[in-house]
Structure 1
């Protein structure tokens, strides 16, 4: 029996796959068990190290744009803009963006046009990170489950050996008769 056949047989026994071939993710975990390699790793650190400058920048912009401090600051800037153009500069005839605030609308539209795709890119990367982390968690949990099942088998074999030894002693005592 080749090593791959042994691994497939072990995977079938551990997962109850019957006569069919176990799924590839199960075989991958069983191969790691056979090689005594670790499945667990810091997926967040690995992902952080693999991000490009643009991805890090987009994530930072999305983090800032989705914060309360940004919303409060943004509201304050708009309020100052309106007060400045309607009451202060309008009195001296120097308002640079009088009502209906066309320049302000242009800035807000530009901000929305740039910020929305950046936030969506960041969310897509976050979804990909979540999928990768879930896949990794599945592998770690599967390995733990297979290891626990293997330990149960070992304990069962040990108990069977102990029970056989106890039964042999009892039979020997019965053959000797009462003392």
Structure 2
């Protein structure tokens, strides 16, 4: 039993930041961390250099800190949307959400009715039906189909009905427009969050690629120097 425990312990590695043991697959080596995050870790945990590793939890914490500092330098004070983007980068969860889902459960019966009235009032069905009603109304009261017209020319009752309809329809349409503005604002916020997250991820990807290329270049230079030394030693032996 003790041998198994010792064997299991040997297969674990140490996180340089929290000083806890983890499986090697749960740690990130020093070389895979981008330069900006490397500097933050080095300031917080002295001795952080090549050959060391960090656990995912601590790496996520320093990544978030790096992004916060980066945004603060460029934008000044961070807003709520910026913090949501930082949280999404740390958790790896999608940040966009349809406005309909965000407003779900917050829409009242009156708002739903306003949307339906505005949708019907802005359709050809309403225009054609309303035109037909006007034609029938005026025909009945002008042609003399009825023995005693209920609204003779100049159609005072019709004018009253039209005025009342316009007075009621206008605020209903404004209510629907206000809800549409809320949806548009939420869509704009979604677009901002997605664009900011994409910008940060692309920037981090560029930094990581540059870091890897710099490391590879250093190794190539070192290999070239070794080859030159070997060739010089060989030339000396031939002489």
TM-score, structure 2 normalization: 0.65
Match of 1:145 in 2: 199
In 2, are the aligned partners of 1:8 and 1:21 still within 8 Å (CA)? no
Match of 2:159 in 1: 105
Decide which of 126, 132, 143 is 1:76's aligned counterpart: 132
Higher strand share: 2
**Unaligned 5+ runs, structure 2:** 1-43, 45-57, 235-239
How far did 1:48 drift?
Answer: 4.7
Match of 1:10 in 2: 67
In 1, are the aligned partners of 2:142 and 2:152 still within 8 Å (CA)? yes
**RMSD (Å) for aligned C-alpha atoms:** 2.6
Local SS of the residue matching 1:125: helix
How far did 1:25 drift?
Answer: 2.9
**Unaligned 5+ runs, structure 1:** none
Local SS of the residue matching 2:152: coil
Local SS of the residue matching 1:177: helix
Match of 1:123 in 2: 177
How far did 1:20 drift?
Answer: 5.2
Q: Aligned ranges for residues 23-172 of structure 1 at < 5 Å?
A: 23-89=79-145, 93-172=147-226
In 2, are the aligned partners of 1:7 and 1:27 still within 8 Å (CA)? no
Alpha-carbon distance in structure 2 between the residues aligned to 1:24 and 1:8: 16
Alpha-carbon distance in structure 2 between the residues aligned to 1:22 and 1:175: 54
Structure 1, residues 36-76: CA drift from partner, whole Å, max 9, x if none?
23212222233255312111110000011111221121112
How far did 1:87 drift?
Answer: 0.6
Bigger relative CO (Cα 8 Å, ≥ 6 apart): 1
Match of 2:34 in 1: none
Local SS of the residue matching 1:38: coil
Higher helix share: 1
In 2, are the aligned partners of 1:58 and 1:118 still within 8 Å (CA)? yes
Alpha-carbon distance in structure 1 between the residues aligned to 2:77 and 2:174: 40
How far did 1:4 drift?
Answer: 7.9
The 10-residue stretch of structure 1 (39-48 or 163-172) with the greater mean CA deviation from structure 2 = 39-48
Change (3 A) 1:155 1:16: farther
Larger radius of gyration: 2
Local SS of the residue matching 1:96: coil
In 1, are the aligned partners of 2:61 and 2:90 still within 8 Å (CA)? no
